[in-house]
Amino acid sequence: MDTIRFQADRKLDVIAIGRIGIDLNPNEYNRPLEETLTFTKTVGGSPANIAVATSRYGIRTGFIGRIADDAFGRYILDYFKLKNIDTEGLVVDKEGHKTGLAFVEIKGPNDSDIIMYREGAVDLELTMDDVQEEYIKCAKALVVSGTALAKNPSREAVFYALKLAKKHNTVTFFDVDYRPYTWQSMKETSLYCSMAASLCDVIIGTREEFDVLEGVDLPDNQDDELTAEYWLSQSPQLVIVKRGREGSVAYLENGEKYVGEVFPVDALKTQGAGDSFAGGVISAMIKGRDVVEAMRYGAGAAAIVVQKNSCSEAMPTEEEIQQFIENYKKARRG
């Protein structure tokens, strides 16, 4: 089985770039948002959640992003430090932009939603000047997500980071993270996300996200095999297609295909599943595990997170994932 090769002797294992926000998770759930009275604040945003996940896994993690010059910005900075995430790449915005907010609604295990406030969000103000070449150079891997591509100057900053990563042999992961409220049109989304995907070493997305990714090049495609063939003919070496309760499938550039395990649980909500899966996969691969084992850890992490009323705060440690999988299999054996 081919595996992704990471550069040795780098100060950081992984750096995430892009969206950092505030999640407001309901303290009263199984009810609509209009009936929810109180919330608990945590840090959110897909790349931020992935950064927390990898750090919890024992991976040396950094972040590139813009934070507001206010109480929320200070909270994010302190939160990252508490989670042992390197903050050298964080830039404090001095132009009055605000932190994006996400109010989470949990009406049931299969009925949860988010109301986002993203107008003038500070994370989309990340500039090329905010991305330092030496910081990219000191990491084994860079994680990019689709939301950072929705607007300039953030879009330019991400493509610049990808260019620097390629220059310094930093492995690049693209978590599609499609959020329709951030974009102007489906064509725009497909164009820029597909451009980013073509520059990365690993692509991770749901079937629906790959549909978005391929809107310009492979319209109406629903075939995972064709998806893998198309992307693996470019820069990516590994494509992982997620299908929820049906599990995930990994396609490698040597033609090998692997079906990932899935651990069905009684979920509280769906949010955080993708971020925890990506965090588990990336962390396991950096630690030298093969793709099958990496997907197993990702699936275990996702199963843990969907049972809890948070995303970043619910991210498990490697030991917790191992214990969950062991207990799950014992219970299944009876």
| pLDDT tens readout for residues 173-192 | 999 999 888 899 999 999 99
Is the pLDDT at 93 greater than 70? The verdict is yes
Q: How confident is the model at residue 112 (pLDDT cuts 50, 70, 90)?
A: confident
| CATH code for the domain in which residue 94 is found | 3.40.1190.20
Is the pLDDT at 54 greater than 80? The verdict is yes
Is the pLDDT at 43 greater than 80? The verdict is yes
Is the pLDDT at 202 greater than 70? The verdict is yes
Q: For residue 22, what pLDDT is reported?
A: 98
Is the pLDDT at 227 greater than 80? The verdict is yes
Q: How confident is the model at residue 1 (pLDDT cuts 50, 70, 90)?
A: low
Q: Is residue 140 part of a domain?
A: yes
Q: Is residue 175 part of a domain?
A: yes
* Percent of the chain whose predicted confidence (pLDDT) is above 90: 85
Q: Is residue 329 part of a domain?
A: yes
The reply to whether the predicted model has a pTM over 0.75 is: yes
Is the pLDDT at 33 greater than 70? The verdict is yes
Q: Is residue 221 part of a domain?
A: yes
- Dihedral angle computed from the Cα positions of residues 277, 199, 251 and 229, in that order, rounded to the nearest 10 degrees: 140
* Percent of the chain whose predicted confidence (pLDDT) is above 70: 99
Could you read off the pLDDT of 146-169 as tens digits, one per residue?
999 999 999 999 999 999 999 999
Q: For residue 30, what pLDDT is reported?
A: 87
Range of the domain at 92: 14-333
Q: Is residue 3 part of a domain?
A: no
Q: For residue 334, what pLDDT is reported?
A: 67
Q: Is residue 99 part of a domain?
A: yes
Maximum mean pLDDT: which of 19-23, 217-221, 269-273: 19-23
Q: For residue 2, what pLDDT is reported?
A: 62
Is the pLDDT at 331 greater than 90? The verdict is no
Q: Which of 281, 271, 278, 253 is CA-nearest to residue 314? A: 271
Q: Is residue 9 part of a domain?
A: no
Q: Where are the beta strands (DSSP E) in the chain?
A: 12-17, 21-26, 39-44, 61-67, 85-86, 90-92, 101-108, 111-117, 139-145, 171-175, 202-206, 238-242, 248-252, 257-259
Residue, of 220 and 162, whose pLDDT is higher = 162
Q: Is residue 5 part of a domain?
A: no
The number of distinct structural domains making up the chain is: 1
Q: For residue 3, what pLDDT is reported?
A: 73
Instruction: Extract the tokens encoding 82.
Output: 């508490």
Residue that the structure tokens 């608990």 belong to: 40
How many Å apart are CA 55 and CA 293, to the nearest integer?
19
